[in-house]
Structure 1
Amino acid sequence: MFLIKIGLSLLRTIIELNNFFKDKRSMRWQDFKTQYLIRFWAPLPAVIAAGILSTYYFGLTGTFWAVTGEFTRWGGHIAELFGANPHEWGYFKTIGFEGTPLDRIDGMMIIGMFGGCIAAALWANNIKLRLPQHKVRIFQALLGGIIAGFGARLAMGCNLAAFFTGIPQFSLHAWFFALATAVGSYFGARFTLLPMFRIPVKLQKVSAASPLTQKPEQARRRFRIGMVIFFAIVIWGMVKVTDSPKLGLAMLFGLGFGLLIERAQICFTSAFRDLWITGRTHMAKAIIIGMAVSAIGIFSYVQMGAQPKILWAGPNAVLGGLLFGFGIVLAGGCETGWMYRAVEGQIHYWWVGIGNIIGATVLAYYWDDLAPALATNYDKVNLLDTFGPYGGLLVTYLLLGLAFASMLWWEKRFFARKNATQSLSLQASKESV
């Protein structure tokens, strides 16, 4: 009997210890889930991570992180359905048009990006159909998307290939594009503040604040679906690696890019627009730091024999940047921004995406008429060739440092003027009293 009691006591102890460690594991998982899968990520480390990821993407696949080139090909496929022959267009002879998205590195990467965006949005239960507040917003989204898509492909790249990943590639055209985009975004910001874009606000009297409603079961179900999508993309990519390594890796990298842009809400449009409207430079400074981190990695790969992507430093980069900057602010989102917002259920950004593809396809159609005067008769300037390997790296970092210092100066100036204006208004109101 004594031995039986000891045995039962020991069994209870084992069960209690098992439950204790099970609870601990559950708590650790819940903490990890809340901290890293449900909450939004800080922009700065996320942008730096995107810069590092884009560096390895270049080293392992031989191309850079870009999306609008593939969206232009999608537009070409759609044009084929209506009897067009995009295979004969000079633009597609330049960027390639063979196969389907499943056969192209950019295509597989974008599939992975959409998968990452959807998985991340589901983890956080951040999916809900949201209609535009007014018809004018649809007009803005479509027109702005068309202008941005046209400008991006005129410059041979958007906020990625002609900016975030273009500058670390040491291509002079990316600097032309970046400066022109900043100018275009300024005029875009001023344009969208016109009265025609102001939506009337309808005030509704309520007796009490509406309580926040949570649906825990829906959140759990969506989290599980997000996990299924995440692992499906991982398995698909890993299986594809055995058959076509670059395509499989492109999908896996795309998954990472999608997670980063959705969880950190990385938006290049806000980086430019906020400069002129709110004076905030947090996202812009994060992007500059991300490019600085990426540049040294790209430089290392180039020294090992990889060929950077250098494009024409002609009027196309300047004009394309002006149109792109104006278009993304008018539309309210850039090429990466509309992707994650669209899968979150924001209908406005579906129209932005449609506009992007239309604008890019129109540019591809007229490329043969525009290219000689604006692009192909100009040099492709590689800073590493112009200033020497280390000189080109130094020039790039000096320019990035100048851009960062300019952000600090602008932020200080903006808020100093804002505070001065508020002080004058306050003083005037006191005097009137």
Structure 2
Amino acid sequence: MLVMQTFRSRWFQKLEKPWPIELGGMILGVLAFWYFIFGKTVGVQTTVLYWGVWLGKTLGFDASSWSFFQGKHAKALLGGFWHHAGSLLVLGIIVGSLLGALTASEFRVRRIASGKQLLAASLGGLLMGYGGRVATTCNVGVYFGLIPSQSLSGWLFMAFVFLGAGVGSWMLIKYFT
């Protein structure tokens, strides 16, 4: 027990302070470059869709007849979670975010303050999910794939994200506080 406390106090105490933004930017840049070199793009939206289909498959639901799964996405139905690189990447994003929050002592479970807050969060999540599906990518894929490759669609996506964030913030203040 004493060994674990010593280890934690020695290493995690250093991590409790925020990292310099430059270091975080460099790490993200190296990871994006590495991912880009291998010809991949980060795609959370489609991966989460696959998760839903795989879960549905275990419950007896069959999505193989959907036109979406007739082309390049047909392989995804066969492999499952542990055989899909995107699933492992998204799992890594989730676990990495959790570890970052835990080591910085920033993880909090908060009680929902009101029904308005629940409605605002649900509406925002639905609109973001719908926007990601319509755009056929997510913000992670845009910022790690489309913008670094100087794709016009990436820059347009970013402009509309800023516009949406502004409108959403205005609506949050006006209607949900």
CA distance, structure 2, for counterparts of residue 136 and residue 112 of structure 1:
32
Does residue 1:132 correspond to 2:112, yes or no?
A: yes
Do the aligned residues in 2 keep the contact of 1:155 with 1:162 (CA within 8 Å)?
Answer: no
- After superposition, the Cα gap between the structure-2 partners of 1:183 and 1:121, relative to the gap in structure 1 and judged at 3 Å, is closer
Counterpart of 2:52, as a letter, is G
Q: CA offset at residue 168 of structure 1?
A: 1.1
Relative distance call for 1:156 and 1:42 in structure 2 (3 A) is same
Q: Is 1:40 matched with 2:18?
A: yes
- Paired with 1:120 and 1:175, the residues of 2 have a C-alpha distance of 28
Q: Tell me how far apart the structure 2 counterparts of residues 145 and 94 of structure 1 sit (CA, whole Å).
A: 28
- Equivalent residue number for residue 3 of structure 2: none
d(CA) in 1 for partners of 2:120 and 2:154?
26
Query: Is residue 197 of structure 1 aligned with residue 176 of structure 2?
Result: yes
| Structure 1 equivalent of residue 52 of structure 2 | 75
TM-score, normalised with respect to structure 1: 0.35
SS of 2:93's partner is helix
The verdict on how the C-alpha distance between 1:118 and 1:182 changes in structure 2, with shifts beyond 3 A counting, is closer
Asked if the contact 1:156–1:162 (Cα under 8 Å) also holds between the matched residues in 2, the reply is: no
Aligned pair partner of 1:51 in 19, 24, 29: 29
Report how far residue 75 of structure 1 moved: 2.1
- Cα deviation, 1:152-203, whole Å, max 9, x if unaligned, reads 1211111121344311133322122122222222222221121x301xxxxx
Query: Alignment identity in percent?
Result: 24
Q: Which moved more, 1:158-167 or 1:87-96?
A: 87-96
Contact 1:167 1:174 in 2 (8 A): yes
Distance across 2 between alignment mates of 1:149 and 1:58 = 24
Deviations 1:331-353 (A, max 9, x none): xxxxxxxxxxxxxxxxxxxxxxx
Root-mean-square deviation (Å): 2.5
Change (3 A) 1:95 1:163: farther
For 1:52, give the aligned amino acid. Answer: V
Please report how far the alpha carbon of residue 70 of structure 1 lies from its aligned counterpart in structure 2 after TM superposition.
0.7
Q: CA 1:193/1:123 → structure 2, altered by over 3 Å: closer, same or farther?
A: closer
AA aligned to 1:64 is T
Q: Which structure's CA Rg is the greater one?
A: 1
TM (normalized to structure 2)? 0.78
Q: Unpaired runs of 5+ in structure 2?
A: 1-5
Match of residue 179 from structure 1: 159
Q: What corresponds to 1:358 in structure 2?
A: none
CA distance in 1, matches of 2:63, 2:35: 28
SS at match of 2:127: helix
Aligned to 2:94: 114
Mapping of 1:382-397 within 5 angstroms?
Answer: none
Q: Which residue type is aligned with residue 98 of structure 2?
A: I
Closer, same or farther in 2 for the Cα pair 1:81/1:145, shift >3 Å? Answer: farther
Task: Give distance in 2, aligned partners of 1:163 and 1:135.
Answer: 33
Task: Render the CA deviation track for 1:295-320: whole Å, top value 9, x for unaligned.
Answer: xxxxxxxxxxxxxxxxxxxxxxxxxx
Instruction: Name structure 1 gaps, 5 residues minimum.
Output: 1-25, 199-433
Deviation at 1:92, TM superposition (A): 3.7
The 5-angstrom pairing of residues 241-390 of structure 1 reads: none
